[in-house]
């Protein structure tokens, strides 16, 4: 355990040795208190994983072969169900501490991260980005897992915040397993979220183990600003949800190395944050930086549509000026009240 009893073990599922090797470089620099990385990977990737991360400077890297834990059981086909299944198997049979950090191989810190971000005064701190009751997207297995988890949590009388915030989260291993046992009593489906289900259910059965829920701190979730409306904006851009395509020519982070720049890591991170913030401001006004690929302006027809939409927005901003001024003044008054002791 790190200082104050905080978890200092981080657990990954990965089938991408190169991506994980780079991610561990960020963890090594910005989270040097991490004692051990546990990596569950398919047998087919075992040798490549050992070559890529076996010499990482985290004090200890433990690579676990999936087949050694599965005992002949088949993995679900769905991405979300498979991840939940493997996380559960790792918690049941793998070398995880009682409290550990759960992460994906593409969650990368952008600044120094203290253990107190995850564990404070003996309690687990968790980061939510949405309320599952309000999540209306239904386009992927990720969405399906959120909806299924919401139904199970709601039935059980638990909260239903979305903790799949694309950043590491601290988990209590026993409470993690209890959450999936509770869900299994309701449904045979394995299409469940390995973040939202245990962190909401844990607060139901052991509220004393958890601190107040905080707002997520992730850049690139969603991949592009405004792909869907925020329920709450990131409290701080502390982690990057890494998308390799954003670093390709013509994309948002073109010219920035994907691996940590060991000569100027803070400058590298701040450049990404700056570009993300600028794109956020422009896209929010239906303006898209020329030469930067994005999911909206992909054809002449779409460019013409957003040109008309920008003109309509300008008209709205003019006629709604008084209303927006009043809202801004109200927000300022609320902020002042919140700052009072």
Q: Are residues 128 and 195 in the same domain?
A: yes
Q: Are residues 76 and 184 in the same domain?
A: yes
Q: Are residues 306 and 242 in the same domain?
A: yes
pLDDT of residue 59: 74
Residue with tokens 């198997």: 89
Q: Are residues 12 and 124 in the same domain?
A: yes
pLDDT of residue 315: 45
pLDDT of residue 328: 60
Q: What's the burial of 325, exposed, middle or buried (CB within 10 Å: 0-12/13-18/19+)?
A: exposed
Q: Are residues 142 and 204 in the same domain?
A: yes
Q: Is residue 341 part of a domain?
A: no
Q: Is the pLDDT of residue 317 over 90?
A: no
Length of the chain: 341
Three-state SS at 288: coil
Query: Tokens in use for 205?
Result: 């059965």
pLDDT of residue 307: 57
* Dihedral sign, Cα of residue 158, residue 161, residue 164, residue 169: negative
Q: Are residues 83 and 209 in the same domain?
A: yes
Q: How far apart are CA 260 and CA 7, in angstroms?
A: 24
Domain that holds residue 247: 218-322
User: Among residues 166, 196, 215, which one ends one of the domains?
Assistant: 215
pLDDT of residue 318: 47
Lowest mean pLDDT: which of 88-92, 160-164, 299-303?
Answer: 299-303
Q: Please, which pLDDT band fits residue 304 given cuts at 50, 70 and 90? A: low
Residue with tokens 């020329």: 290
Mean pLDDT score across all residues of the chain: 88
pLDDT digits (tens, 9 = 90+) for 193-244: 999 999 999 999 999 999 999 999 999 999 998 888 899 999 899 999 999 9
pLDDT of residue 321: 52
Q: Are 166 and 103 in contact (CB under 8 A)?
A: no
pLDDT digits (tens, 9 = 90+) for 14-63: 999 999 999 999 999 999 999 999 999 999 999 999 998 875 557 799 99
Q: How far apart are CA 33 and CA 162, in angstroms?
A: 27
Q: How far apart are CA 242 and CA 244, in angstroms?
A: 6
Q: Please, which pLDDT band fits residue 327 given cuts at 50, 70 and 90? A: low
- The structural domain count of the chain equals 2
pLDDT of residue 74: 85
Q: Please, which pLDDT band fits residue 296 given cuts at 50, 70 and 90? A: confident
Q: Is residue 160 part of a domain?
A: yes
pTM for the model stands at 0.87
Q: Is the pLDDT of residue 128 over 50?
A: yes
User: Among residues 197, 215, 233, which one ends one of the domains?
Assistant: 215
Q: What's the burial of 160, exposed, middle or buried (CB within 10 Å: 0-12/13-18/19+)?
A: buried
85 vs 319: which has the higher pLDDT: 85
Q: How far apart are CA 69 and CA 89, in angstroms?
A: 7
Query: Tokens in use for 138?
Result: 């239904």
pLDDT of residue 326: 60
Q: Which domain CATH number covers 111?
A: 3.90.550
Q: How far apart are CA 217 and CA 129, in angstroms?
A: 9
Q: How far apart are CA 48 and CA 131, in angstroms?
A: 39
* Dihedral sign, Cα of residue 287, residue 220, residue 23, residue 123: positive
Q: Are residues 21 and 122 in the same domain?
A: yes
Q: Please, which pLDDT band fits residue 340 given cuts at 50, 70 and 90? A: low
Q: Please, which pLDDT band fits residue 143 given cuts at 50, 70 and 90? A: very high
Q: Is residue 336 part of a domain?
A: no
CA 60: distance to chain centroid?
24
Q: Are residues 194 and 254 in the same domain?
A: no
Q: Are 239 and 109 in contact (CB under 8 A)?
A: yes
pLDDT digits (tens, 9 = 90+) for 270-286: 999 999 999 999 888 77
Q: How far apart are CA 9 and CA 34, in angstroms?
A: 6
% pLDDT > 90, the chain: 71
Q: Please, which pLDDT band fits residue 333 given cuts at 50, 70 and 90? A: low
Q: Are residues 80 and 209 in the same domain?
A: yes
Lowest mean pLDDT: which of 16-25, 32-41, 102-111, 315-324?
Answer: 315-324
Q: Are residues 209 and 130 in the same domain?
A: yes
């Amino acid at each position: 355990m790190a200082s104050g009893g905080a978890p200092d073990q981080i657990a990954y599922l990965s089938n991408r040795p190169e991506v994980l090797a780079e991610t561990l470089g960020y963890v090594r620099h910005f989270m040097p208190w991490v004692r051990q990385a546990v990596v569950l990977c398919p047998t087919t990737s075992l040798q490549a994983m050992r070559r890529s991360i076996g010499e990482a400077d985290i004090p200890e890297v433990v690579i676990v072969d999936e087949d050694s834990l599965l005992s002949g059981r088949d993995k679900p086909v769905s991405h979300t169900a498979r991840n939940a299944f493997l996380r559960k198997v790792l918690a049941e049979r793998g070398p995880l501490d009682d409290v550990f950090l759960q992460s994906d191989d593409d969650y990368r810190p952008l600044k120094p991260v203290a253990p107190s971000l995850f564990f404070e005064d003996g309690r687990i701190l968790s980061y939510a980005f949405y309320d599952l009751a309000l999540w209306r997207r239904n386009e992927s297995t990720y969405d399906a897992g959120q909806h299924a988890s919401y139904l199970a949590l709601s039935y059980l009388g638990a909260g239903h915040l979305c903790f799949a915030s694309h950043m590491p989260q601290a988990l209590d291993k026993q409470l993690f397993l209890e959450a999936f046992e509770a869900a299994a009593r309701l449904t045979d489906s394995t299409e469940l979220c390995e973040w939202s289900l245990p962190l909401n259910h844990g607060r139901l059965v052991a509220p004393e183990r958890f601190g107040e829920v905080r707002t997520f701190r992730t850049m690139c979730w969603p991949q592009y600003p405004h792909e869907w409306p925020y329920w709450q904006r990131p409290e701080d851009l502390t982690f990057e949800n890494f998308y390799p395509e954003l670093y390709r020519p013509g994309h948002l982070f073109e010219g920035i190395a994907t691996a940590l720049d060991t000569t100027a890591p803070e400058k590298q991170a701040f450049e990404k944050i700056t570009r993300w913030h600028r794109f956020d401001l422009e896209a929010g006004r239906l303006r898209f930086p020329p030469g930067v690929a994005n999911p909206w302006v992909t054809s002449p027809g779409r460019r013409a549509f957003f040109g008309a939409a920008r003109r309509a927005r300008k008209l709205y901003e003019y006629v709604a000026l008084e209303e927006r001024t009043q809202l801004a003044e109200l927000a300022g008054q609320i902020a002042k009240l919140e700052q009072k002791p």
